[in-house]
Amino acid sequence: MALFRAAAPLGAILFARNVEDPDQLRALTAARLRELLGAEAPILVDQEGGRVARLRPPHWPEFAPAAAFTGGPTGAARANATLLGLACAEAGFDVVCAPVLDLRLPGAHDIIGDRSFGDDPAEVARLGLAVAEGLQAAGCIPVIKHIPGHGRALVDSHLDLPRVAVGLDELALDCAPFAALADAGAWAMTAHILYAALDADRPATLSPLVIEQVIRGAIGFDGVLVSDDLCMKALRGEAGALAAAAIEAGCDLVLHCNGVLAETAAALAGCPVLSEVAESRLVEARAAMLARRRPINTGSLAAARDAWLASAAA
């Protein structure tokens, strides 16, 4: 907390290492982080369901992965996301890093796998929108990831830089779900992937070409763009330099997630003051989320979700 007092970030992202139980977590998010950073400071969590979940039993429900909803009713996916979002909001989170809009493609590395809704861009877009709407109904801002598409990666970007060598037609399929949700009021998280047909030298997170021409241009996403974790081994370099390079490339915000204080301090030092454009996007994202909130009957949501999961498992 001393570092945050000295060089306050815009917000924070929490991991399993930060979570003990509901009372401890609420005290951390509400009584410490928001008192320190401000009531509007975004507090993020990776909570997709399945493998990627920071809130887990016995204190929180276990949620199914995205693949469990493939081919199912839109209402079941939306209901599941609302219930997941309610658990996150009650714990003090207002930004949930989901849904994954990457395609699940044969031969690709399984780092995406069942986190994806499948290989059909239209199906991924349909269920991804349902999840985004469900999270917004619960009072959370969704983060679509990993733009412009991680599904063709042959290596895990946590460990190395994936290089995707397919042509523009194939990449257009990857971009399609993101384009379908470009105006959904969500944030988006970049992919640490080098797309040879788009920028042969830099991964998307650090590429003005990819961000300006593809993410902002062809896809049409004009919301808050946040980097994936700068600590992942797909990227090379000092934390401050990487943070500055990602912002210069066109990211509005960057994530630095390993918890090493010296590196976090360097990343904070590398970040410029929030631009007026980025601040406007943050305000618009929160307003869009609030506009989509709906009265919630948790019993009917759970019934809709559980009926589909039971039938799919039969």
Positions annotated as catalytic residues are: 158, 228
Residue 72 Cα to chain centre, angstroms: 23
| Cβ neighbours for 161, distance < 8 A, ≥ 6 positions apart | 155, 192, 193, 194, 203, 233, 234, 235
What are the φ and ψ backbone dihedral angles of 2, each rounded to 5 degrees? -60, -40
Q: Which two tokens stand for residue 46?
A: 């990776």
| Cβ neighbours for 69, distance < 8 A, ≥ 6 positions apart | 76, 77, 80, 117, 127, 308
With vertex at residue 307, the alpha carbon angle to CA 305 and CA 308, rounded to the nearest 5 degrees, is: 70
Do 206 and 181 contact (CB within 8 A), yes or no? no
d(CA 109, CA 153): 6
Number of H helices, E strands in the chain: 11, 11
Residue type, position 178, single letter: F
